[in-house]
Amino acid sequence: GFLPLQGHVVRNWKVRWFVLLQDKLLYYKIEGGKKEPSPKGRILLDGCTITCPCLEYENRPLLIKLKTKTNTDYFLECCSREERDSWALDITGAIHAGHPVQVQELHRMKNSFKLLDNISLHDIVEKMYDSSTGIKLTRNLDQGNRYKETFTGSSLVDWLISNSFAVSRFEAVTLASMLMDENFIRPVGARSTEAMRSSDPSEKFLDDSTALYMFAESGKKSTSSKEEVQFNISELSGTIVKQGFLVKQGHKRKNWKVRKFVLRADPAFLHYYDPTKEENKPVGGFSLRGCLVSALEDNGVPAGVKGNVQGNLFKIITKNDIHYYIQASSKAERVQWIEAIKPLT
């Protein structure tokens, strides 16, 4: 699948097509909408160590770090926590492929639950406040309300694991629930507040990128300008239904670029982002109301499509008659995107 990769010489980000083999991770360049036949590079997994979650880049919270036995660092970015954890588990399994006992231990740890006996919630909170290594606080929007100095449920889980306070996500969620029960942190916004009322302790804290929390003594929500709130409500405050990397044809130059697509409902919008840029702002998007979406045949290049494309094409026509040509990485993924978009049109 597609993953942004940081370069070694020029420390910029490029999207590459990755293929995981038993002993190596190959990555390919996409040119003209098609994967090049020879790999652009390879990461040898023998003696490799993996860090996940990796929190070295504040603006890129979904990183995987691979360090080879020659001490070369590779940073790979994923679209979602679920995608990141899936890649990390598969890569870790490949690293330990020759050691089945370690693979079994990996799966056992993933599903285990054991909090350290000597854990101190006060120590954890003190480290969370640290300006350089603590939890990163950001502004977030929830149902039109803008909150200052918040963090998401999934970012706290990532932070607890990366700081060795928890081994598994299940363990970190339990620990975060304890912090909430002891009034060190509190939920803000509709989703996290509603979850706190759950009678099941395991469901009180949400390991989710849309659930918001803050330190208990932090300030209340802040209001932003009416224009800014309206923009966020009208487009970016909807529930995320699906997200992933797809290849999109440009409107002017007709070249193909990998974009991160985010599909939202209530209201129904499809936005796309440039994954090589640091700022997490859409470079384009449109309302799905009144749109038509359909798959395109792979035999031959349809009218309106330029370049030697890989295949798995689908087309979205907006109610303003703007045509978007998009490639998925597989037929199955194309079907998934079309089925997710159709009910929102």
- Nearest of 317, 256, 251 to residue 284 by alpha carbon: 251
Give the confidence band of 30 by pLDDT, cuts at 50, 70, 90. confident
Cis-peptide, bond into residue 302, ω within 30° of zero: no
- Nearest of 115, 57, 119, 60 to residue 84 by alpha carbon: 60
Q: What is the pLDDT of residue 316?
A: 95
Residues of the chain with CATH 2.30.29.30: 2-111, 235-342
Which of 63-67, 153-157, 163-167, 223-227 bottoms out in mean pLDDT, i.e. has the lowest?
Answer: 223-227
Query: Which residue intervals of 197-294 are DSSP H helices?
Result: 226-231
Q: What is the pLDDT of residue 301?
A: 63
DSSP class per residue in 102-153: HHHHHHHHHT-----TT--HHHHHHHHT-TTTSPPPEEEEETTEEEEEEEEH
What is the CATH architecture assignment of 121-215?
Orthogonal Bundle (1.10)
Q: Quick check: 215 and 184 in contact, CB under 8 A?
A: yes
159 compared with 181, residue with greater pLDDT: 159
Give the confidence band of 339 by pLDDT, cuts at 50, 70, 90. very high
Four-way CATH pick for 2-111: 1.10.10.10, 2.60.40.420, 2.30.29.30, 3.90.650.10? 2.30.29.30
Residues of the chain with CATH 1.10.10.10: 121-215
Neighbour-count burial of 242, counting CB atoms closer than 10 A to its CB (0-12 exposed, 13-18 middle, 19+ buried): middle
pLDDT tens digit sequence for 278-295: 777 888 899 999 999 999
- Nearest of 277, 281, 284, 282 to residue 57 by alpha carbon: 277
pLDDT tens digit sequence for 286-338: 999 999 999 987 665 667 777 767 788 999 999 999 999 999 988 999 999 99
Mean of the per-residue pLDDT values for the chain? Answer: 82
Question: Is the CATH number 2.30.29.30 carried by domain 235-342?
Answer: yes
Q: What is the pLDDT of residue 232?
A: 53
pTM summary value: 0.68
pLDDT tens digit sequence for 198-216: 656 667 899 988 889 998 8
Task: Measure the CA–CA gap between 51 and 227, rounded to whole angstroms.
Answer: 41
Q: Quick check: 195 and 206 in contact, CB under 8 A?
A: yes
